Amino acid sequence: MAGIVKALDQALANNNLERVAATMDQFERQFENLDIQSEFVENAMSNQAAMSTPEDEVTNLMQQVADEHGLEVQLNLPAASNAPVAVQQQAVADPENDLSQRLAQLKGK
């Protein structure tokens, strides 16, 4: 948008009507794109808000189900630790090797 304003200032200073029209068209396209994006975000946020359930309702339902089935529900979480967490490296499965092993098993039968 800032670039469009600068281009429009230059076009107006030079009295270049073609450039003014082109800049205004570009501004209108970008404004329409922004409007579509903001509408999409608003819809996504309203859908998310409609799907969320208050925490106390969830807690009450969990307790009700636990009571019906004679279970105890521990709703309090343990305190978080400040110790660093070790990251494990996962081996990436080789699809070619997996297929070769499957083929060998099928041939062996």
Whether the predicted model's global pTM rises above the 0.75 cut: no
User: pLDDT value at position 75?
Assistant: 65
Q: What distance in Å separates the CA atoms of residue 5 and residue 98, rounded to the nearest whole number?
A: 58
Per the structure, the complete domain to which residue 5 belongs is given by: 1-52
Domain presence at residue 65? no
Domain presence at residue 108? no
Q: What distance in Å separates the CA atoms of residue 52 and residue 63, rounded to the nearest whole number?
A: 19
Domain presence at residue 39? yes
% of the chain at pLDDT higher than 90: 11
Structure confidence at residue 46 as a pLDDT band (50, 70, 90) = confident
Q: What distance in Å separates the CA atoms of residue 38 and residue 25, rounded to the nearest whole number?
A: 20
